[in-house]
Amino acid sequence: MYLCRNLLRKMALTAVICSSMPAMAVLPIQVQGNKILYGNSNISLCGNSLFWSNSGWGGEKFYNAASIEDLKINWHAGIVRAAMGVEDGGGYLSDPQGNVNRVDSVIDAAIKTNMYVIVDWHSSHAESYQKEAISFFQRLATKYGKYPNVIYEIYNEPLAVSWKETIRPYANAVISAIREKDPDNLIIVGVPNWSQDVDVAAQAPLSGINIAYAFHFYAGTHGQPFRYKLLTALQHRLPVFVTEWGTVNADGNGSVNIQETATWIRFLNAHKISYVNWAYNDKAEGASSFLPGTRKLSDSGKTILSLDRGCLGKL
């Protein structure tokens, strides 16, 4: 009953926002079986991930309202991902306030422009920083949990660790902490081996409502065997969200793999899986949307701009 009242409260909040804004505000997200529904729509939402938020890494200059407005207006993106670095230099552990300020700026802009926003604990060793993750996400849920825009991604890319013995205990602890403040916004959990083993997670899924599982791929490296992993997860009724993917190789370099990119996008659209591209940034690597030090589109950026504008999952 409480969850129903909370959902109605969020829908009422959406109605209030809609009445004061020219565009339609976002609807609450619900998980039903292996489907992630935006309101009642089963669609493939697509958008863009920012680069690491770490101080001094170069990607932080995109953590502002101007970038989010650009993605919304010019790219037609429906979702943005704030990839908050954690344990690496300049990340949350060494500069908590700087990173929190950047993430909050992105969230505020996403809410204002009626976009969904994934807040990503961008770590490959999150289980080592469980206490810090709980503190971060509880603050986030307290401040923003009333907004249906906000999605919590509590573990970016676990490495070759056990789903049952390492990731699940961490996820249960962080999810429980979030649910104390926000009972129903979507929570996404990374899976073993750089968030590729969704088939493994499907054998022992987490309990609770509105929980999904991250899947990452890069078209230049990952082909049909990885689509089989996704199919296995879906067949086991596991809801999957592609919170990071690239047109190039997994190391972020190389040229755009046109054929595999097209195959992946057809696959994701056919199965109504949402996907967020890495990365809206100008680092000197193939995965960046912009050429180094400019706002000129890279080959990957041109590809993603076309995909965002032609996205089938329009809200």
pLDDT tens track, the chain, 315 positions: 444 445 445 544 443 333 333 345 899 999 999 999 999 999 999 999 999 999 999 999 999 999 999 999 999 999 999 999 999 999 999 999 999 999 999 999 999 999 999 999 999 999 999 999 999 999 999 999 999 999 999 999 999 999 999 999 999 999 999 999 999 999 999 999 999 999 999 999 999 999 999 999 999 999 899 999 999 999 999 999 999 999 999 999 999 999 999 999 999 999 999 999 999 999 999 999 999 999 999 999 999 999 999 998 765
Q: What residues does 213 pair with on adjacent strands?
A: 189, 240
214 near 206, Cβ under 8 Å?
no
Alpha-carbon span 31 to 314, nearest angstrom: 18
Residue 312 is predicted with a pLDDT of 81
pLDDT at 315: 59
User: What CATH architecture does domain 2-309 belong to?
Assistant: Alpha-Beta Barrel (3.20)
Res 10: pLDDT: 55
- List Cα–Cα distances, 96 to 69, 85, 302, in angstroms: 25, 10, 34
CB-based contacts of 57, cutoff 8 Å, min separation 6: 51, 85, 90
pLDDT for residue 274: 98
Tokens (6 digits) for 172: 């249960």
CA–CA separation, 274 and 297 (whole Å): 23
Q: Per the residue annotation, which of 60, 244, 260, 285 is the catalytic one? A: 244
Cβ atoms 269, 227 nearer than 8 A: no
- Which residues does 304 contact at the CB level (< 8 Å), separation at least 6? 48, 75, 247, 277, 289
One-letter amino acid at 173 equals: A
180 catalytic? Reply is no
Catalytic residue among 60, 153, 157, 285: 157
Q: What's the pTM? A: 0.92
Cα separation, 58 vs 4, in Å, equals 43
Q: Which of 104, 50, 43, 102 is nearest to 75 (CA)?
A: 50
Who contacts 275 (Cβ-Cβ below 8 Å, separation ≥6)?
44, 45, 46, 242, 245, 265, 268
Rounded distance between C-alpha atoms, residue 9 and residue 222, angstroms: 42
